[in-house]
Amino acid sequence: MTPPIDLDQRLAGVHLLLLDCDGVLTDGGVTWSDNGVESKTFHIRDGLGIRGWQRAGGRTGIITGRRSVVVERRAKELGIEFVRQGVDDKCAAADEIIKECGLSWEQTAFMGDDLPDLPVMTRCGVGVAVADACAEVREAAAVVTSLPGGRGAVRELVEQMLRARGGWEAIVHAYTAPRMGVDAGRDLGRA
């Protein structure tokens, strides 16, 4: 019998990070103006984490049950490759993205917060719950962040994955090396 792979090995083996949006990249709130314009708030540290993940060679996607122009805009701003909105079957969407990347489920992490995320979380290599996820999602997760959704949880996970593979120091170095200011900002892009 083969011994199970420990969590650090699983985190180090992730090449594709898939994220739910509402409750993960945002705090789950949706604001509507009197004119019917929807707005969401994204945390800048999550954006910087995603940029660092991409810089380290990781790929990123969003799979969400809702549709929103705001999500498209944020994904474009961060260079997120895969965006699937209005999805009823998140497993099917994840499977499509995984195949397009030429990766396996074991090389994929998925971060969620509520019941529709469970099928993907339990199938992928590393299922992740934000701190304020529902109880069932937290119980099913291999990792539960200390931060809630929309408050830096994605950045926390990226740091954990990159530390597991020894890549976090390179991200930090991009900001601490001589001539860091302008060069690092250009390299990592807008967060």
Domain boundaries along the sequence of the chain: 7-188
State residue 75's pLDDT score: 97
State residue 190's pLDDT score: 56
Residues 47 and 188: beta-carbon distance below 8 Å: no
Name which of 69, 68, 70, 98 is nearest 82 in CA terms: 98
State residue 98's pLDDT score: 98
State residue 30's pLDDT score: 86
State residue 187's pLDDT score: 52
7-188 topology per CATH: Rossmann fold (3.40.50)
Q: Which residues of the chain have pLDDT under 70?
A: 1-4, 179-191
Name which of 23, 15, 1, 25 is nearest 165 in CA terms: 15
Phi, psi of 145 (to 5 degrees): -70, 160
State residue 3's pLDDT score: 52
Note the pLDDT tens digit of each residue in 9-25: 999 999 999 999 999 99
